[in-house]
Structure 1
């Protein structure tokens, strides 16, 4: 009757363990499930031994059974949580670490717990034991290693947080970018150590470097062409983007002002502003692109000729344009110099 209560999936194993206890004379210790009459499944820890007669023949087995259901369910829940955490760290390329020594004592052998993902990020072999602080330092790229001692000193002396991104060199020679974030742990106003995360940010850093490189190429191309880019809502007078070259064309450092639109617009010569405003209003009303030429006076008094080309995106708000500004001063000056000769040529052709 008792044996029938054992879960069908556990019966064969329990029977084998019981036979081994009788055969070898060892003490029995087994965990198994039972199914109660109402269908509920419980976990049991069975401890048993065998009584033998004078000839050594087993004639009785006795023992105890302890209900360990709550413990087993807690273990299952913990394993499930650990799996979800491990899988989340793997997908995010982020590991966790903790130390009750860091900031309290200083040694190359500081006790540092690291999750499996930290080992994977650094390329460490988890079967060789936990790496010490010196091993972590040795993995840092030589060009990034100099700033670590000061950061570690602050952690040790000030018990402050840290957020450091540096390159590491894995054992196979691969270079990765790693961001390490640490926060102090304080309990009952007593400093207890640090908890933190280690994140592989290689893809993000490489994309950032590529973006900076492309921005530098674009800025240099604009500088050589004397053409700047911009994006703005001409109705609300809000500027979304104004390249460095666009700002330079107007002769201003726009980062020092709160409204670069008004700053740019105020440089337009009074003689050109009414006609320019009318053309812009017509383009906005019609939702059309524009191509305008006008003059500005910079803060140093220099007058420059500019050409503004704006493209209206129908999918955006009313008055929202993006475009380019081109310095056409040299061309206009050449045209002015040639104008007397053009007029003279026109007159002579009619004689």
Structure 2
């Protein structure tokens, strides 16, 4: 009888020990999982958030703090703090997107700009969805933000290069036209001079220079290749800044 009572007393202690061991294992696994998620987000330059509407508490992942220019956990995240960092020109759009999602329960996607504490502007691609209670009332916003700043800057550089190439091509076509007109005009002037008609020769020269001047003005207004402008200007005896 005494042996049975001892076994009964030891069973809860054994169960408690196994539970603590299992809890420690789960905690370790969760920490490892979170570390892997954080590493993946760091590589993808992506963060996630979970905003509890009623309490206005906003849980940010470590990488989202970094995207906003902070070390993880150094500020208390909230919707107000988030909106303070949204670029002033994008705030109305962001509010409208969130209000629509709140009213309809539909998921949302958008691109917005944020301003970091040091003044740097970053471009984010955000998406999220509303979580509702059993009555369909919105209680949380969950979503992710991807920092696409480098992609946006690369696209802007590409557009700038394309514009400059188009401008340079136009300038070179105009330069070719200018060269043809100058050659033809001066040839005609030389021919008139050889015939002794100096007045007509002078008129050809003046007309040729006037036409060349107009084309050079177009090159300057179009922001053409500066080296090309100087070369053309030198050929007609005019300063490109005149």
TM-score of the superposed pair, with normalisation by structure 2 = 0.58
Q: Distance in 1 between matches of 2:66 and 2:132?
A: 29
2:85 alignment partner in structure 1: 267
Q: Indicate the structure with greater strand content.
A: 1
Superposed, 1:1-351 pairs within 5 Å as 82=6, 84-93=8-17, 201-234=20-53, 236-239=55-58, 241-253=59-71, 255-315=73-133, 317-340=137-160
In the alignment of these two chains, the number of paired residues is 166
1:14 alignment partner in structure 2: none
Contact 2:131 2:138 in 1 (8 A): no
Q: 1:254 to 1:276 in 2, by over 3 A?
A: same
3-state DSSP class of the match of 2:88? coil
Contact 1:247 1:254 in 2 (8 A): yes
Query: How far is the alpha carbon of 1:262 from its aligned partner?
Result: 2.4
3-state DSSP class of the match of 1:288? coil
Contact 1:254 1:260 in 2 (8 A): no
What are the superposed Cα offsets for residues 231-285 of structure 1, whole Å, 9 maximum, x if unpaired? Answer: 113565322x311001111112452334443222211111110111111111111
Gaps (5+ residues) in structure 1? Answer: 1-75, 94-198
Q: Distance in 1 between matches of 2:124 and 2:3?
A: 68
Q: Indicate the structure with greater helix content.
A: 2
Contact 2:51 2:140 in 1 (8 A): yes
Query: How far is the alpha carbon of 1:302 from its aligned partner?
Result: 1.0
Q: 1:92 to 1:225 in 2, by over 3 A?
A: same
Q: Distance in 2 between matches of 1:261 and 1:289?
A: 18
Q: Distance in 1 between matches of 2:12 and 2:54?
A: 47
TM-score of the superposed pair, with normalisation by structure 1 = 0.41
What are the superposed Cα offsets for residues 96-145 of structure 1, whole Å, 9 maximum, x if unpaired? Answer: xxxxxxxxxxxxxxxxxxxxxxxxxxxxxxxxxxxxxxxxxxxxxxxxxx
3-state DSSP class of the match of 1:256? coil
Gaps (5+ residues) in structure 2? Answer: 170-242
Query: How far is the alpha carbon of 1:91 from its aligned partner?
Result: 2.8
Q: Distance in 1 between matches of 2:5 and 2:139?
A: 53
Q: Which has the higher contact order (CA 8 A, sep 6+)?
A: 2
